Amino acid sequence: MTPQNITVLGATGSIGVSTLDVIRRHPDRYKAFALCAHSQVDKLFAQCLEFQPRFAVLRDAALADDLAARCRQAGLTTEVRHGMAALVELASLPEVDTVMAAIVGAAGLEPTLAAARAGKRVLLANKEVLVMAGELFMHAVRAHGATLLPVDSEHNAIFQALPADFSRGLSACGVERILLTASGGPFRDTPLTDLQQVTPEQACAHPNWVMGRKISVDSATMMNKGLEVIEARWLFDAAPAMIQVVVHPQSVIHSAVQYADGSVLAQLGNPDMRTPIAYAMAWPERIAAGVEALDLFRIGRLDFFAPDCERFRCLQLAYDALAAGGTAPAILNAANEVAVAAFLEGRLPFLGIARLNEAVLAALPAGPEGSLADVLGADAEARRMAAAMVAGARFA
């Protein structure tokens, strides 16, 4: 068996690290061809030492020069590059079989779209790609014969619970509803009046999952779940009314599908991202992921609640942006990235995240999502407006 060459976009993040762990367990099946990171030079160098990729990429030239010097000194043949053009190239080279798209935020859009246009097997962990450019991206997948497999635990669970021919239409397959589960984050039981004083450390302390700071804050505001609603709409061609968010604190049921005959099919497992990563990497086969088997006796109970959209205003804003269509989701995503960064830097209170998102979404009219330039233009304008609002202390 010739190993699959995998480009890992976001190699030093939590998804990238878990992806490399699966590769480590199956060296006969997978080869880390290119490892791409934002700025964690030490971590990327350690990965280069172990996996010896053909290419490594960092954000800017100075960081890349540092990594290249270390690789030369260690006797590695890894070629080091920098910048967006390198990411795009290494997501679409002929030698690449599979691309793990795990760059956080809007920065992952261009290389992931390039992978789709090159007809690659795309393992999608970057939900912002479909939030910002869902119609554009799905068109590229179909037009260029790419294989798209979801890595988000919820969408991976839905994919497992749907029939193999769901692309002919959910209703035609007897699907009535997608049940998108949410842990509720660290503040699911916190009164709204107590959320104003939340600190970044509290917001990043997720009760179930180990994640990066940005996605942890998104989980705390439930914006992450709102973005996943938009992602599910495009992945499964589902009408927004078919997607129901269900708060499930234990994070054991990762999502479910409700059928016309009364059946509900769910995927269960321990909260470990190596499960959906391994499923996507090996699909349609299944391979060992290093994840402990689920012990139902130890769990004992499973709870479910309706989400509180007053406490978690960001969830409703995502539905609103989806209904508005066009570039509205891209505008919301951009505003949220600015808002979360400001919160983590202590320049915006926790509840200010939702207020800022709502203000930007209301102020910028959505345009058509006709091209990548349209999407990136809306993204840039929303970021400028959000940054100006933060600087003006409108939501302090």
Amino acid (1-letter code) at residue 83: G
Question: Do the beta carbons of residue 260 and residue 242 sit within 8 Å?
Answer: no
Q: Is 127 annotated as a binding residue?
A: yes
Q: Is 13 annotated as a binding residue?
A: yes
Strand-pair category, 175-182 with 253-259: antiparallel
Q: Which two tokens stand for residue 292?
A: 């402990």
Nearest 10 degrees: Cα torsion 253, 212, 206, 258: -20
Q: Is 208 annotated as a binding residue?
A: no
How far apart, in whole angstroms, are the C-alpha atoms of residue 316 and residue 297?
36
Q: Is 176 annotated as a binding residue?
A: no
SS3 label, residue 237: coil
Question: Do the beta carbons of residue 220 and residue 190 sit within 8 Å?
Answer: no
Q: Is 206 annotated as a binding residue?
A: yes
Q: Is 216 annotated as a binding residue?
A: no
For residue 388, give every residue at least 6 positions away whose Cβ sits within 8 Å of its Cβ, in sequence order, or none: none
- The H-assigned helical ranges of the chain are 14-25, 41-51, 61-73, 84-90, 109-117, 128-144, 153-161, 200-203, 213-221, 223-235, 274-282, 296-299, 313-324, 328-344, 350-363, 372-391
What's the half-sphere exposure (Cβ side, CA atoms, 13 Å) at 377?
11
**How many CB atoms are located within 10 Å of the residue 235 CB?**
26
SS3 label, residue 360: helix
Give me the residues paired with residue 34 across strands.
7, 55
Counting other chains too, the contacts that 324-327 makes at CB distance below 8 Å and 24 or more residues apart are 324/366, 325/366, 325/369, 326/366, 326/367, 326/368, 326/369, 327/366, 327/367, 327/368, 327/369, 327/374, 327/375, 327/378
Q: Is 225 annotated as a binding residue?
A: yes
Among 75, 230, 267, 51, smallest CA distance to 137 is for 230
For residue 278, give every residue at least 6 positions away whose Cβ sits within 8 Å of its Cβ, in sequence order, or none: 22, 286, 287, 288, 289, 291
Q: Is 18 annotated as a binding residue?
A: no
Q: Is 15 annotated as a binding residue?
A: yes
Q: Which two tokens stand for residue 268?
A: 């269960």
Q: Is 183 annotated as a binding residue?
A: yes
Annotated binding-site ranges for 1-deoxy-D-xylulose 5-phosphate: 127, 153-154, 183, 206, 219, 224-225, 228
Q: Can you say which residues are annotated as belonging to the binding site?
A: 12-15, 126-128, 152-154, 183, 206, 212, 219, 224-225, 228
**Residues annotated in the binding site for Mn(2+), as ranges?**
152, 154, 228
Residues flagged as binding site for NADPH: 12-15, 126, 128, 212
